[in-house]
Structure 1
Amino acid sequence: MAQKAERKTAILMGVIGLLASRGLDGITHRAVDEAAGLPQGSTTYYFPKKTALLLAAADHLADLLGKDCDELQVAFSDITAQKGMTAAIAYVGDEMVRYAEDSKNLFLARIELTVASSRREDLSAVGDKLTAAARRPIAFFLQLVSDGRTDVPVDTCAGLVDGITLMYVTGQGPKPTTDQIKAVLKALL
């Protein structure tokens, strides 16, 4: 049973990697088998149709984003309690910059699937799910630093951070900096 779960995870991570490097057109069962280091036919066994494969990869990606968010929230709370809000804000800025560097594949796969969801009816729910997962840590953070205000522009902040990150991961802009992220937050609050 554990081997089956490990193979599924390898397949889904292979899809995420391929989405980031080749885009949606690069997703074939054969390419996923190769990326996952599995024998030919493995992906087809678990996911006979490409749509099922993409939907499962989107769920896996949303779960990964959720785990990242949970870790960020715990660390943010700990730093706030130990060192204060200013240190916690700096931590969030640093983490967003680190994410742009260390998690390019997750970001690019999210963007690729979100764009595909606007064009393909069979993937229509994927965009909302991934957007919600990506905005969750920003909403959490903004609610805390705004003293619980309800008018905080979460979508605007997420859009600005996504734009800065997208420019970087596609080679169109410099690596984001903590100062950029802080400036975005400061301007919105």
Structure 2
Amino acid sequence: MTRRQQVLDAAIRVLGTTGPRGLTHRAVDTAAGLPEGSTSNHFRTRDALVSGVVDRLLERETELWGRLAVDVSNPDALATAVGCLVRQLADERVLTLARHAVFVEASVRPELGRRIAEAHRRIAEWAGPLIGALGSDDPVRDLRLLLAVIDGLLTNQLANPQPDFAPAEAVRTVLRGMFGPPPIDG
């Protein structure tokens, strides 16, 4: 792991445990076990640090997708893969809380919102054709819905953890609505 990654992973821990107000260069140095000023050497401003956190969160989530989304050849397999991803992200509580803190910060920092929108665009480039191949008549709309379901499941599990958390079943229900037969007009 590079020193930059070490700093960013510590920043994620700080953000995920103390929230946005706790994210300072000094707090990151302490969390990383580095000498004071180390974080500033890589990220001169708090804005640069938060931008680096966005990049690192994307890297780490992409790694999770790569490990978990192996078979997505049909809606049931996709539901299982997405359910595993949601479960993993819920288990990685600090990472996911940091992700949500960044989303909140993006609501008041337009440039950060644009970076998140760019990350969503890259996800759509990868996942949109997959959703289309499974039978969606509007892959962009359906992917947005799926991402909203993922975020909703995560938020609820973080705020009110349930021991019987079964995200795959919820995802499966949503996918049935996307890919199932159209409603019969009566």
TM-score by length of 1: 0.77
Distance 1:20 1:138, change over 3 A: farther
Give the corresponding residue for 1:123.
112
What amino acid is aligned across from residue 116 of structure 2 in structure 1? G
Give the corresponding residue for 1:70.
66
Superposed CA deviations along residues 99-141 of structure 1, whole A, max 9, x for unmatched, are: 2333333322222112211202453423313444666776465
Name the structure where helix makes up a greater proportion of residues: 1
Offset at residue 76 of structure 1 (A): 1.5
Aligned match of 1:26 in 22, 25, 28? 22
What amino acid is aligned across from residue 53 of structure 1 in structure 2? L
* 1:59 maps onto 2:50 in alignment: no
* 1:182 maps onto 2:169 in alignment: no
d(CA) in 1 for partners of 2:2, 2:95: 19
Give the corresponding residue for 1:50.
46
TM-score by length of 2: 0.78
Distance 1:56 1:97, change over 3 A: closer
Give the corresponding residue for 1:99.
88
Aligned match of 1:37 in 29, 33, 38? 33
Moved more, 56-65 or 170-179: 170-179
Give the corresponding residue for 1:155.
144
d(CA) in 2 for partners of 1:107, 1:136: 23
Distance 1:140 1:76, change over 3 A: farther
Q: What secondary structure is seen at the aligned counterpart in 2 of 1:119?
A: coil
Moved more, 16-25 or 170-179: 170-179
Offset at residue 67 of structure 1 (A): 2.8
Offset at residue 88 of structure 1 (A): 2.4
Distance 1:112 1:139, change over 3 A: farther
Aligned length: 176
Gaps of 5+ in 1: none
Superposed CA deviations along residues 130-181 of structure 1, whole A, max 9, x for unmatched, are: 44466677646533422xx341321122112211211111226663432122
Equivalent residues of 1:118, 1:127 under 8 A apart: no
Identity level (%): 26
Give the corresponding residue for 1:114.
103
Distance 1:136 1:167, change over 3 A: farther
Question: CA RMSD for the aligned pairs?
Answer: 2.8
